[in-house]
Chain A
């Protein structure tokens, strides 16, 4: 009854990344399997966000290689990653502030839209049909995330929790096969967290989307992840199923060392 965890789709091998001499990631390797929820945890500054940025090509690692669906990617550009079906959300909400919820989510479908500028200008025939067809898809996302009542609200006016939801919506609109979530529950209250958890599980379950998740809330991570990678100061100190990781002495000391 549970979803089938499949083969490895994403493989990170010996990734090292530094900014002007400061090492952000040191020789990190791990893999992500089809349909699984894979969490990356670690104290602040452990290099979690940098890891996501390497996966979808915002940062280019100095060493190591990333293999996605059998293809080795060097100097991957973010928009090419998007084309291959990788979508993501950001730690600090990166919505398009001047646009409505609907338009924000519509942008998520830009890769699937094929009409050109001239067709758009005329807004007739194919362009119009395409717009409507994708609006329908976007409405499904809106329905899925239960944000019907705010669909035409400018995102800047929304409370934080809802903005995070809209950002997830924009990522989902692309119908990604790999979804990278950077602290989707940061700054949320308990109820919002529960909702977000439910959405993440539903996405994973209903669409079979593989998810790489960065999250601080240990309870949530241990609950919903299939496997967890633990980073500390840019190095991998643990990797495995939640229970395994929980009892890993390195992980415990890293957490005790920082949080107390």
Chain B
């Protein structure tokens, strides 16, 4: 039983990270109706940029390597890079494709994925890099002693960060002018335009916010598994989460992430051995698919009626 909980909690914690990536998708889909396949590439780009700055900044500025100053400067610069990416994306991809069918925009983001990956590696190189955020990746003694459950403090940290981020975003959407504008755009582009919200700004902002989410997700994933090309696959993990949670629902992304994370780990551990293992790659998809057949609009998605 303890083992079960260990697996479950481990799964839930990695689910938090899936949720974080999925959150980026949802933000963009809500605001611009674009299914952004490049979210994974953005995670990779952000993490790579961050570690890249960590490496080069001491040389450029004379700051102490591994110090706090370098960390925050690199963070701010990376954030800046994500904003630039958002602006460039809006300018080069979204604006010319405005009013195209969503499927076209989706395919464009696949192209964008390749572009972003190529650019990231072109600038920073393709080596695997480690990232140390200063958080120990070791079991929490308290849990060990009292419940005999092995839980990494890093995972808890990651979950906390994710929770804070989600809460912050929720507040942002609920209580700021920009946040309300974003929601207005999601509901009805025409309406948003007619009350004087410049659509282009909204897009840039939302892509930048998604970039910020990608940066945080990239840092956490990177710190855990190293910053490498495999980060782009996080996007593939996030897709079943979206199906489960619905494309437009922030809570859906979180709950979906947790379900996917937990169930994939449980399945791997309890079902995997019987079929040769490695089912993590497809299990979430089959799960999501099965779910989809029952509820095509996802957990929290809105039912859509075809008007004729």
Could you list which residues of chain A lie within 8 angstroms of chain B, going by C-beta atoms?
19, 49, 53, 58, 90, 94
Give the Cβ gap from A97 to chain B, nearest Cβ, in Å.
11
Please determine whether B305 and A49 come into contact, CB atoms closer than 8 angstroms. no
Q: What size tier do the contact residues of chain B reach?
A: under 10
Please determine whether A53 and B308 come into contact, CB atoms closer than 8 angstroms. yes
B308 cross-chain contacts in A, Cβ below 8 A: 49, 53, 58, 90, 94
Give the Cβ gap from A1 to chain B, nearest Cβ, in Å.
38
Contact with A along B288-308 (1 / 0, CB 8 A): 000000000000000001001
Give the Cβ gap from B224 to chain A, nearest Cβ, in Å.
45
Give the Cβ gap from B108 to chain A, nearest Cβ, in Å.
20
Residue in B closest to A92 when the chains form the complex, CB atoms: B308
B305 cross-chain contacts in A, Cβ below 8 A: 19
Give CA–CA (A94, B307) in the complex, Å.
12
Give the Cβ gap from A58 to chain B, nearest Cβ, in Å.
6
Segment 2-54 of B: residues with Cβ below 8 Å from A = none
A58 cross-chain contacts in B, Cβ below 8 A: 308
Give the Cβ gap from B190 to chain A, nearest Cβ, in Å.
16
Chain B interface SS verdict (over half) = loop
Give the Cβ gap from A250 to chain B, nearest Cβ, in Å.
28
Could you list which residues of chain B lie within 8 angstroms of chain A, going by C-beta atoms?
305, 308
Can you list 6 A-B contacts (CB < 8 A)? A19-B305, A49-B308, A53-B308, A58-B308, A90-B308, A94-B308
Give CA–CA (A94, B308) in the complex, Å.
9
A53 cross-chain contacts in B, Cβ below 8 A: 308
Give CA–CA (A53, B308) in the complex, Å.
8
A94 cross-chain contacts in B, Cβ below 8 A: 308
Give CA–CA (A138, B308) in the complex, Å.
26
Give CA–CA (A58, B305) in the complex, Å.
11
Give CA–CA (A153, B21) in the complex, Å.
46
A90 cross-chain contacts in B, Cβ below 8 A: 308
Give the Cβ gap from A45 to chain B, nearest Cβ, in Å.
13
Give CA–CA (A49, B305) in the complex, Å.
15
Give CA–CA (A44, B305) in the complex, Å.
20
- When A and B form their complex, which 6 residue pairs have the shortest distance between CB atoms, in order from nearest? A58-B308, A90-B308, A53-B308, A19-B305, A94-B308, A49-B308
Give CA–CA (A49, B307) in the complex, Å.
10
Give CA–CA (A181, B308) in the complex, Å.
13
Give the Cβ gap from B70 to chain A, nearest Cβ, in Å.
55
Give CA–CA (A49, B308) in the complex, Å.
8
Give CA–CA (A53, B305) in the complex, Å.
13
Give CA–CA (A94, B305) in the complex, Å.
17
Give the Cβ gap from B211 to chain A, nearest Cβ, in Å.
36
Give CA–CA (A90, B307) in the complex, Å.
11
Give CA–CA (A58, B307) in the complex, Å.
10
Give CA–CA (A19, B304) in the complex, Å.
11
Residue in B closest to A88 when the chains form the complex, CB atoms: B308
Give the Cβ gap from A184 to chain B, nearest Cβ, in Å.
15
Give CA–CA (A94, B306) in the complex, Å.
13
Give the Cβ gap from B308 to chain A, nearest Cβ, in Å.
6
Residue in B closest to A90 when the chains form the complex, CB atoms: B308
Give the Cβ gap from A94 to chain B, nearest Cβ, in Å.
7
Residue in A closest to B306 when the chains form the complex, CB atoms: A58
Give CA–CA (A14, B79) in the complex, Å.
62
Give the Cβ gap from A185 to chain B, nearest Cβ, in Å.
19
Residue in A closest to B303 when the chains form the complex, CB atoms: A20
Give CA–CA (A53, B307) in the complex, Å.
10
Give the Cβ gap from B104 to chain A, nearest Cβ, in Å.
14
Give the Cβ gap from A232 to chain B, nearest Cβ, in Å.
21
A49 cross-chain contacts in B, Cβ below 8 A: 308
Give CA–CA (A90, B305) in the complex, Å.
17
Give the Cβ gap from A191 to chain B, nearest Cβ, in Å.
28
Give the Cβ gap from B301 to chain A, nearest Cβ, in Å.
15
Give CA–CA (A49, B306) in the complex, Å.
13
Give the Cβ gap from A220 to chain B, nearest Cβ, in Å.
23
Residue in A closest to B305 when the chains form the complex, CB atoms: A19
Give CA–CA (A206, B307) in the complex, Å.
33
Give the Cβ gap from B27 to chain A, nearest Cβ, in Å.
27
Residue in B closest to A52 when the chains form the complex, CB atoms: B308
Residue in B closest to A182 when the chains form the complex, CB atoms: B308
Give the Cβ gap from B31 to chain A, nearest Cβ, in Å.
25
